[in-house]
Amino acid sequence: MASHIVGYPRMGPKRELKFALESFWDGKSSADDLKKVSADLRSSIWKQMSDAGIKYIPSNTFSYYDQVLDTTAMLGAVPPRYGWTGGEIGFDTYFSMARGNASVPAMEMTKWFDTNYHFIVPELGPDVKFSYASHKAVEEYKEAKALGVDTVPVLVGPVSYLLLSKPAKGVEKSFSLISLLDKILPIYKEVVAELKAAGASWIQFDEPTLVKDLESHQLQAFTSAYSHLESSLSGLNVLVETYFADVPAEAFKTLTSLEGVTGFGFDLVRGTKTLDLIKGGFPSGKYLFAGVVDGRNIWANDAAASLSILQSLEGIVGKDKVVVSSSCSLLHTAVDLVNETKLDKELKSWLAFAAQKVVEVNALAKALDGRKDEAFFSANAAAQASRKSSPRVTNEAVQKAAAALKSSDHRRATNVSARLDAQQKKLKLPILPTTTIGSFPQTMDLRRVRREFKAKKRIMSRLLRMKSTKVVKLQEELDIDVLVHGEPERNDMVEYFGEQLSGFAFTVNGWVQSYGSRCVKPPIIFGDVSRPKPMTVFWSSMAQSMTARPMKGMLTGPVTILNWSFVRNDQPRFETCYQIALAIKDEVEDLEKAGINVIQIDEAALREGLPLRKSEEAFYLEWAVHSFRITNCGVADTTQIHTHMCYSNFNDIIHSIIDMDADVITIENSRSDEKLLSVFREGVKYGAGIGPGVYDIHSPRIPSTEEIADRVNKMLLVLETNILWVNPDCGLKTRKYTEVKPALQNMVAATKLIRTQL
């Protein structure tokens, strides 16, 4: 019986790779230093898996930045602007593509399926001259072999690679990327030949795009790609790996009929229909890589339940044909529970990070083979039982309140136009009101205050209050209309709330790679969520007391808190979301009672949670939008509810955004104006206030008054004056005061100029 791991985190248990990369980029260490740290990480990962008894250990899942960029390098598909002239691609070209350099910006980055990992999008066109330009896959295989570990080299599959690419600048949008298959397959053949020569007996192609809604010509590309590769693959065992959802029935047929393929990998955690598909027919004599250990979450596997699934699969595909695996690469979970010194023993017994998941996979494989490790299984069963019955997990009042929400709708009583009228009577805002999105610069000094005075709450609170006072004064000087307190007390927009809600836990080292060297540390939602006491009322009412202008209360919305956390797997996501919504609702109502008339509920990550399959979108959007409305359905007409979203591309979900029924929506916009036009038009019909960001806060550049005025004027061509708000496109926390002050000064000046022209 065999065990397999799809892929492993690269950063290291203490983010060793992050620090090595950043020090190299800063010129503080050499390329050799970076290579050494990386080689040490790889070797310890291989050793760990081999010690655990894993049979199919992956290689080439390490990356200095991203596995898709590695594939671009392997294929020599470097966009011409990086000036690469051939030969093996080195750090210079590689990191220029990833991060840009002094003269050329980086390639585009986008989300890897529905994870929080981001990959570098290949830019391809009919003229790309592909060549075998990075031997990394072969080198890693040999490196592991020299250490005594025979690995399964992993490549991004040729079809997924093309389907994840975009047409290069200047190439027509209609250009068929898949037509490049014939040009990249010869390179794949070269790689395969070298791997074979080096002694590889298995090779893994990751083809996760198979879980999406593909058209028949795209499915056809899989058939032709693998039959094209068949002769070069002969003599090798080939695994085609899918993950993140079940493979649609049509794609399942295509996949399991691929020529030259020995094994198929499936996600049995997110792929709720995978089992049925396999029961419906699996090619005889082929291997089934059964991903039963969740690669996307931090929960310990329910080993008994997994074992019974594995046994039933064995009944279908044959005794020696089931390989126990992770549901996807472990890249998307935290690295090692061993380094969690602050979590209590009970909670820790419920968790498994990557290192523990490797052990789980192996224990399951052994058990399936009749060599059950009784101690492991009984400890696992005890932990599962304690999690099920723990009073820390269940709060009946919360369960009841959340269950009661499902059947009914929650909406404010009056429509948005009536509400805006009532609000305007109270707020008396000028036309084209100006505001910001919430945070002001998180300076070193501010971070130091939060860090050093964590234990001395009184002192910290006084120091942070001083920061807020400055922010309020600055906004008054700048003559901004609706103010914010600047969020000095927050390290992070989710962590801040999670720390004050029941049902959340925090790790010390539970980092997950987001992109390049950037990692996030998602909170863990382990129990029913409730709000013991107000979370932001102190800060907002204190700030309001300093000014006669309206002060915006500032909250993170339930969907964003959910999507940026590790979520419990013992109840549906929407139930957890409803619980968070109830907690935020309490906060909204307390803010209102404290005299805050404008409340912003950020839903930065609403779109991120959109499922991979079209058929599942409607259900998600319904409960997500419902959760948002729950938070504010109880406020008076005169209380103005804002929401903010961090992306511009939501043409496809505009109706859901309108259905959120906020009074004012501020959105990121400065990067892609034209896409938003349709959103604007819908907004006009709807009547809510809209604040498309008038400048890009992601760049240190200070926009001029003319530039901002120009932008606002363009918006006014589409939008009525009485619904337009003027604001930057996101919070200002990553900027410096020397950038923020002049930029906001110009924003207000531009607004005043236009007001005189109306």
> What b/e string do you get for 404-433 counting C-beta neighbours within 10 Å, with b at 16 or more?
ebeeeebebeeebeebbebbeeebebeebb
Binding mask 214-253 for ligand GLN (x = CB under 6 A): ----------------------------------------
Are 601 and 642 a contacting pair, CB within 8 Å? yes
> CB under 5 A: which stretch of 110-118, 618-626, 693-701, 728-736 binds Zn ion?
728-736
> CB under 6 A: which stretch of 186-194, 255-263, 455-463, 727-735 binds ligand GLN?
727-735
Q: Is 238 in the site for Zn ion (CB under 5 A)?
A: no
Q: Which residues are annotated as a binding site for L-methionine?
A: 437-439, 487, 602
CA angle 703, 556, 716 (to 5 degrees): 40
**Cα separation of 722 and 406, whole Å?**
36
- Which own/partner contact pairs does 451-460 have at CB distance under 8 Å and 24+ positions apart? none
Q: Is 269 in the site for Zn ion (CB under 5 A)?
A: no
Token pair 């910006």 in the structure block, residue: 105
Question: What is the chain's length?
Answer: 758
Q: What is the three-class DSSP state of 512?
A: strand
Exactly one of 731, 746, 748, 754 binds ligand GLN (CB under 6 A); that residue is 731
**What minimum distance in Å lies between the beta carbon of 693 and Zn ion?**
8
Catalytic residue among 4, 135, 228, 698: 698
Binding mask 412-441 for ligand GLN (x = CB under 6 A): -------------------------xxx--
Q: Of Zn ion, ligand GLN, none, which one sits near residue 664, judging by CB under 5 to 8 A according to partner kind? A: none
Tell me which amino acid residue 199 is. Answer: G
Nearer to Zn ion, 206 or 668 (CB): 668
Q: What is the CA radius of gyration of the chain?
A: 27
**DSSP per-residue string spanning 477-505:** HHT-SBB--B-TT-SSTTHHHHTTSEEEE
Q: How far apart are the first and last CA of the chain?
A: 76
Residue 135 bears catalytic tag: no
Q: Which H helix or E strand runs over 329?
A: none
Q: Of Zn ion, ligand GLN, none, which one sits near residue 602, judging by CB under 5 to 8 A according to partner kind? A: ligand GLN
Residue 120 falls in which region: left (phi positive, over 0), alpha (psi -120 to 50) or beta: beta
CA angle 244, 249, 251 (to 5 degrees): 70
Q: Is 602 in the site for ligand GLN (CB under 6 A)?
A: yes
Q: Is 621 in the site for ligand GLN (CB under 6 A)?
A: no
Using CB under 6 A as the binding rule, the residues of this chain from 472 to 531 that contact ligand GLN are 487, 493
For 164-211, the three-class secondary structure string (H helix, E strand, C coil) is: CCEECCCCCCCCCHHHHHHHHHHHHHHHHHHHHHHCCCEEEEECHHHH
**Cα separation of 185 and 197, whole Å?**
18
Q: Of Zn ion, ligand GLN, none, which one sits near residue 1, judging by CB under 5 to 8 A according to partner kind? A: none
Are 397 and 689 a contacting pair, CB within 8 Å? no
Nearer to ligand GLN, 206 or 602 (CB): 602
Nearer to ligand GLN, 665 or 730 (CB): 730
Are 266 and 247 a contacting pair, CB within 8 Å? yes
Structure tokens at 304: 């008994």
**What minimum distance in Å lies between the beta carbon of 735 and ligand GLN?**
11
Q: Which residues are annotated as a binding site?
A: 18, 116, 437-439, 487, 518-519, 564, 602, 644, 646, 655, 659, 668, 730
Using CB under 6 A as the binding rule, the residues of this chain from 15 to 54 that contact ligand GLN are none
**Cα separation of 152 and 6, whole Å?**
9
Nearer to Zn ion, 364 or 605 (CB): 605
Q: Is 559 in the site for ligand GLN (CB under 6 A)?
A: no
Q: Is 732 in the site for Zn ion (CB under 5 A)?
A: no
> CB under 6 A: which stretch of 164-172, 381-389, 630-638, 728-736 binds ligand GLN?
728-736
Exactly one of 730, 743, 744, 748 binds Zn ion (CB under 5 A); that residue is 730
Residue 152 falls in which region: left (phi positive, over 0), alpha (psi -120 to 50) or beta: beta
Nearer to Zn ion, 657 or 730 (CB): 730
**What minimum distance in Å lies between the beta carbon of 128 and Zn ion?**
35
**What minimum distance in Å lies between the beta carbon of 557 and Zn ion?**
12
Q: Is 646 in the site for Zn ion (CB under 5 A)?
A: yes
> CB under 6 A: which stretch of 233-241, 379-387, 513-521, 725-733 binds ligand GLN?
725-733
Structure tokens at 325: 């695996």
CA atoms within 13 A of residue 537's CA, in its CB half-sphere = 15
**What minimum distance in Å lies between the beta carbon of 495 and ligand GLN?**
12
* Of 136, 79, 76, the residue nearest 106 (C-alpha): 79
Q: Of Zn ion, ligand GLN, none, which one sits near residue 438, judging by CB under 5 to 8 A according to partner kind? A: ligand GLN
**What minimum distance in Å lies between the beta carbon of 648 and Zn ion?**
11
Which residue is at the shortest CB distance from ligand GLN? 731
Question: How many residues form the binding site for ligand GLN (CB under 6 A)?
Answer: 13
Active site residues: 698
Binding residues for ligand GLN, rule: CB under 6 A, are: 437-439, 487, 493, 554, 602, 604, 644, 646, 730-731, 733
Binding residues for Zn ion, rule: CB under 5 A, are: 646, 730
